[in-house]
Structures are given as C-alpha cells and as structure tokens.
Amino acid sequence: MGMVQPHITYLHMPHSGVLDRKIAGFTARLEALHPRITRVDVVVDEIDRHKEQGRLFEVRVDVKAPRVEIVASHQRNEDPYVAMREAFDVIIRQLAGIMERQRGEVKRHAHDGPGPEEIER
C-alpha cells in the first residue's frame, strides 16, 4: 500500500507548497506509527486577519484508519509552521497511545483489576 496523500485545504490564505511538503512529511511519520491510515485531512486557516494583533493561523488535522479516528486537533499560532507542527505532535501522541493500547503495552495499575486476558473462563 502506498503512502496516503494528505488532503490539504487552505482557507483565507494562499496555497503554500512549503507547507504541503511539511504536511506530507508529518503524514509519513503518522504512517510509520500506523501503516493502515486511510485518510489525513488538514485545514490551514488564517484567522483574525483584520485585528490589530496581526495574523493568526489555525491548523486542524483529522486522521482515519480502521477502528481509529482522531478528529480535529486544533492548534493556533502566529506562525503557520508552528501551528502545523503542534497539531501533528498532538495527533502523533494520540496515535502512539492508541497503538500501544491495541498492542497491550499500556501498563496496568494495581487498582485497575484484571485485564480481559487475565480473567479465567
């Protein structure tokens, strides 16, 4: 299966080839964590353009894979690259946690009780 091409939308700002390439790189990192990702949607939005404090960018990332959907990591920053990196960092942490749980690698605390594989039938 080939690399998933991210679906990138720019709102209230011009298209950016540099952001496209950076988003593709982060998408590859997501696929390294979960090779069955089926869709990555990214929206880069320039918001509050008319206010005196300057430009503000919001990046939203939605990731879908079989039995996994991580929706709407919203990160805002005056620098669109920082907002994008922070949005993907949140998604990567969430996806890594999901993959650890699916592999049973999350440590159980004593008060959690037995896991499903520990219950005698």
- Residue 86 counted as domain residue: yes
Ranges of the chain with pLDDT below 70: 1-2, 49-53, 71-72, 105-121
- Residue 109 counted as domain residue: no
pLDDT at 23: 96
- Residue 111 counted as domain residue: no
- Residue 54 counted as domain residue: yes
Range of the domain at 90: 7-104
The model's pLDDT over 45-73, given as tens digits with 9 standing for 90+, comes to 998 765 556 789 999 999 998 887 886 67
CATH number of the domain within which 90 lies: 3.30.160.100
Measure the N-to-C terminal CA separation of the chain; round to a whole number of Å.
39
The pTM of the full predicted model, rounded to 2 decimals, is 0.78
CA gap 86, 74 in Å, rounded: 9
Rg (alpha carbons) of the chain, rounded to whole number: 18
pLDDT at 107: 57
Give the count of domains, the chain: 1
Lookup: tokens for 52: 């005196």
- Residue 119 counted as domain residue: no
Nearest alpha-carbon partner for 63 in 101, 89, 82: 89
